[in-house]
Amino acid sequence: MMAGASGGFHAAKRCVLLSRNSLLRSKCHQRLRVLERWLSCSSYSLGSSYDYDLAVIGGGSGGLACAKEAAGFDKKVIVLDYVDPSPQGTKWGLGGTCVNVGCIPKKLLHHASLLRESMHDAKHYGWQVPDEVHLSWSTLIGGIQGHVKSLNWGHRVQLKDKNVEYVNGKGSFIDEHTVKVKMKDGKETQFSAANIVLATGGRPKYPDKVPGAVEYGITSDDIFSHKTPPGRSLVIGGSYVALECAGFLHGLGFPTTVMVRSICLRGFDQQMSRLVTDHMEASGIQFLWQQVPENIVKNQDSSLNVKWRSGQGQEGQGEFDTVMFAVGRQPETTQLGLDNTRIQLSAGGKVMESEEQSPVSHIHAIGDILEVATTVFTPLEYSSVGLSEELAIERYGEKHIEVYHAFYKPLEYAVSNRSAEQCYIKAVCQAEGSQRIIGLHITGPGAGEIMQGFALAVKMGATYNQLSSTVGIHPTCAEEVVKLHITKRSGLDPTVTGC
């Protein structure tokens, strides 16, 4: 038996279960600094006997980073990771949502779709590109899955190198220090741990009471390894996952429709959301606004007949080859045996108490955090850090904020004369004093790459005065951020016309 620590990760407060994988790494890095201080603390005592110092349930980015960091302090660590197949039978390897069915394959498909746009632009730059280009879906998915599997293997090697024990089994609580492990073949074992971290993440939801949804619909758990070309695609939902997937499906040449119940990108700045969807509609993606699915029926030719209705009761229908649901995610907490602990779940299934921490001092959860930089990888990327304009007004009052903004045209668009109507930047600032920047938003090519540096500036308390005194790197899209000088309050045309 291995001696473990009394107490626990006391500083691992304000944790919630993972619900948005694109924000995980920022949370992870913050928690690792806390973990490092705790593990290296001289008060870390060997007061009780357990099989492991730390057990991590969940093998995603947060869980793996936590396990490896703890092992670096010569602690005995075990990681449990098991993926229940999706309703369509999709499974994957070690690495969690980000590696397998999230950030990594999504960005690669996004890039593949941009290549098609680039081939169109290439003609204007003198390249003799044929008018008709064709996609091999099997080659594309094969290449992406090959990379994903290399990452799966790499994570296993890293755990082995750190002497972290990895078990491909499902963990649940017997009591607050004892974990039962159920293997794929049904065999069960158990162990004890001084400290336990829950990093189980979340899985896509299906809508309630929509006949045929689970039987015939797929989610983001399935699209990245879909064996056949998606064909005519219907994406249901207005989340960032929905818009990203609709964007790359259309960009790859598949007719794509998006069905939205209310608004898109809830929780994001809504002016920016409208720019994103305006660009998507202008590119040929059809949006069914204020519609909800009624049922899905499979036809004899294997196509899917979808019926929907509006809030006013009007009905419609269409034929599709693929129907994908992106209507939100739910935490993977229902099978953790938390009823054998003092942990109570929120209505949304998250591990929360006061300040979003577990009420059991040695059981912790790793999840996402608010107001960090993020990017939506739609055809026209949208990246932001800090507050939306709506939230800034709600928090500070409209008269206490100043919004500087500009429409701009990327130089790359000039020769091909590509439309730049939705390329836009705004800085949401406090109106008083040196005007601290409390939100920064950009739509345009490479928005995510641009935002990374500015995110540090915003985090460090950058002001509008500092931003406007920074020399822009010419000719880049990023330089437009430091050239903002028109306020919304002025009512002047914010279109950039020159230096």
Tokens of 455: 């995110």
Please give the distance of CA 31 from its chain centroid, rounded to a whole number: 19
Amino acid residing at 61: S
DSSP string, 402-456: EEEEEE---GGGTTTT---TT-EEEEEEESSTT-BEEEEEEESTTHHHHHHHHHH
Tokens of 384: 């932001």
What size, in residues, is the chain? 499
Tokens of 315: 């009905």
Task: Provide CB contacts within 8 A for 364, sequence distance 6+.
Answer: 8, 9, 12, 15, 195, 196, 197, 198, 357, 358
Q: Which residues are catalytic?
A: 474
| DSSP 8-state symbol, 498 | -
Closest CA to 244 of 216, 269, 270, 224: 224
Phi, psi angles (nearest 5°) of residue 145: -65, -30
DSSP string, 207-246: PTT-TTHHHH-B-HHHHTT-SS---SEEEE--SHHHHHHH
